[in-house]
């Protein structure tokens, strides 16, 4: 949890700025706030970090995905290709936008593959929601070629991959819109928060209105603002934005330390026969928030998890059995268990969600164990962890040989 490792005086200063004004609302109250605009500063800092023309902060990474979809024009009845390995919010956002998720295969980047996308395309496909998983990035050259070939809309969920890039372009900026998460577990946190980014002025203005009941935010009298579109309330507070602002300034330092630790871990664990790692299309663009280990098969990975637990190794995820990141456990989506009817029930699911076959995804996630990287590790702490990991993995490999 990189961002939370470095809470300090900077975060306190930004929060106190807000508390001293008493204005926790991100809009208006110009005289009272004494020129303190933390949400605006937060957005500007994120835009500067990733190289976006526009950034718009909202309440969470989940609502940032929903804003990104809406601002890209994705809505009722649209078929959207999604990954079966992602935090479930990505798929939820598609459903609550009124669209229909179509699941496609991933590859060893842990993201949707161009081959998987191609096989999932139908005449009804309108968009791809590409999720950059575990701090890395997808194979963007192949995917962008496919987007152009089929004239599809690309929206990027880089919730886990802020500060990652591919050939110099930040994740989130290849599509019409993109977004990042600033929840408690990300490279930078606002406690709760998210940011939508885009290089399109039109998309930015739509997101700005959509996330605040349609307000156009022109003038300083909220009661007299126009409403160009229908929207809802996804506003971030000034307090959350204040934390996000201080945290975003820390990201270059965190990314550097993450990469140093990850290289050490890959070098040491890579010496073990049978250990490989998830594909990183551009190693220079890795945010390195996770070390993503691939073992020879699911049985070995499951045994390694047992060994990690037995030997006191913490800080890892075995996504194959994870309840909220992998399709195998999403019975509520497969079976249409909803509080209120969605377009999936009204129009019919575009796939048989219960009987889908995604063999490459199943094989990849079955072999995958991801370790969260701490930027604050000392050399001694990292060496101790690596010794335990190495012993555990080698024991698992022997037992499943």
Can you give the CATH number for the domain in which 15 is found? 3.40.640.10
Residues 235 and 87 in one domain: yes
Distance CA 157, CA 177 (A): 9
Mean pLDDT within 337-349: 97
- Tell me the residue range of the domain where 24 lies: 3-250
Last residue of a domain, which of 209, 228, 250? 250
User: Is the full-model pTM beyond 0.95?
Assistant: yes
Q: Given 216, 250, 284, which residue is the final one in a domain?
A: 250
186 is catalytic: yes
Contact partners, residue 290, CB within 8 Å, separation at least 6: 134, 135, 136, 160, 370, 371, 372, 373
Answer yes or no: is pLDDT of 374 > 80. yes
Q: Which helix (H) or strand (E) covers residue 317, if one does?
A: strand 316-317
Q: Is residue 312's pLDDT more than 90?
A: yes
Looking at residue 226, what is its pLDDT? 97
Residue 351 in any domain: the answer is: no
Q: What is the mean pLDDT of residues 45-58?
A: 98
| Domain end position, chosen among 220, 235, 250 | 250
Q: Are residues 147 and 66 in the same domain?
A: yes
For residues 256 and 235, membership in a common domain is answered with no
Residue of 166, 147, 179 whose CA lies nearest to 80: 147
- For CA atoms 35, 40, 46, 52, the dihedral sign is negative
Pair 213, 267 in one domain: no
Please tell me whether residue 362 adopts helix, strand or coil conformation: helix
> Which percentage of the chain shows pLDDT scores above 70?
100
Residue 113 belongs to a domain: yes
> What CATH number has the domain bearing residue 292?
3.90.1150.10
Count how many domains the chain has: 2
Q: 198 and 62 in contact (C-beta within 8 Å)? A: no
Rg (CA), the chain: 21
The answer to whether residues 315 and 168 belong to one domain is no
The structure tokens listed for 12 are: 């306190």
Which residues, including other chains, have CB under 8 Å from residue 99's CB and lie 6 or more apart?
Answer: 69, 74, 75, 76, 77, 78, 79, 80, 126, 127, 343
- The pLDDT score that the predictor gives to residue 263 is 98
**Do residues 257 and 240 share a domain?**
no
What confidence score (pLDDT) does residue 1 get?
61
Could you tell me where the DSSP H helices lie in 100-237?
Answer: 114-120, 140-150, 201-210
- For residues 193 and 295, membership in a common domain is answered with no
For 144-163, the pLDDT digits (tens) are 999 999 999 999 999 999 99
Identify the active-site residue in 12, 53, 167, 186.
Answer: 186
Query: Which residues have a Cβ under 8 Å from the Cβ of 34 and sit 6 or more positions away?
Result: 20, 21
Of the pLDDT bands very low, low, confident and very high (cuts 50, 70, 90), residue 3 is confident
Please indicate, yes or no, whether residues 276 and 215 belong to a single structural domain of this protein.
Answer: no
């Amino acid at each position: 949890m990189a961002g939370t490792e470095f809470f300090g005086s900077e975060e306190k200063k930004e929060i106190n700025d807000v508390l001293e004004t008493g204005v926790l609302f991100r809009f208006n109250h110009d005289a009272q706030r004494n020129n303190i605009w933390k949400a605006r500063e937060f957005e500007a800092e994120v835009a500067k970090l990733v190289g976006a023309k526009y950034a718009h902060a909202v309440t969470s990474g989940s609502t940032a995905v929903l804003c990104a979809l809406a601002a890209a024009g994705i809505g009722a009845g649209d078929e959207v290709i999604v990954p079966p390995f992602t935090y479930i919010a990505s798929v939820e956002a598609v459903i609550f936008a009124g669209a229909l998720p179509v699941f496609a295969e991933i590859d060893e980047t842990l993201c949707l593959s161009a081959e998987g996308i191609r096989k999932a395309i139908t005449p009804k496909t309108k968009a791809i929601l590409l999720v950059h998983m575990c701090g890395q990035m997808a194979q963007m050259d192949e995917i962008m070629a496919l987007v152009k070939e089929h004239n599809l809309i690309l929206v990027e969920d880089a919730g886990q991959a802020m500060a990652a890039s591919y050939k110099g372009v930040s994740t989130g900026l290849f599509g019409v819109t993109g977004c990042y998460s600033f929840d408690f577990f990300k490279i930078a946190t606002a406690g709760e928060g998210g940011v939508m980014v885009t290089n399109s002025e039109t998309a930015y203005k739509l997101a700005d209105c959509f996330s605040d009941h349609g307000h156009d935010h022109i003038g300083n009298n909220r009661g007299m603002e126009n409403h160009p579109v229908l929207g809802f309330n996804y506003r971030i507070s000034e307090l959350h934005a204040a934390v996000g602002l201080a945290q975003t300034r820390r990201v270059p330092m965190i990314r550097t330390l993450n990469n140093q630790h990850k290289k050490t871990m890959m070098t040491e664990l890579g010496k073990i026969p049978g250990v490989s790692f998830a594909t990183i299309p551009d190693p220079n663009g890795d945010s390195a928030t996770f070390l993503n280990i691939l073992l020879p098969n699911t049985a070995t990975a499951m045994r390694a998890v047992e060994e990690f637990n037995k030997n006191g190794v913490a800080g890892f995820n075995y996504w194959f059995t994870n309840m909220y990141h992998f399709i195998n456990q999403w019975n509520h989506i497969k079976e249409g268990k909803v509080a209120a009817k969605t377009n999936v029930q009204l129009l019919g699911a575009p796939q048989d969600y219960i009987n889908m076959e995604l063999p490459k995804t199943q094989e990849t996630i079955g072999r995958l164990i991801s370790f969260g990287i701490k930027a604050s590790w000392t050399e001694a702490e990292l060496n101790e962890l690596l010794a335990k990991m190495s012993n555990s993995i080698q024991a698992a490999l022997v037992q499943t040989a």
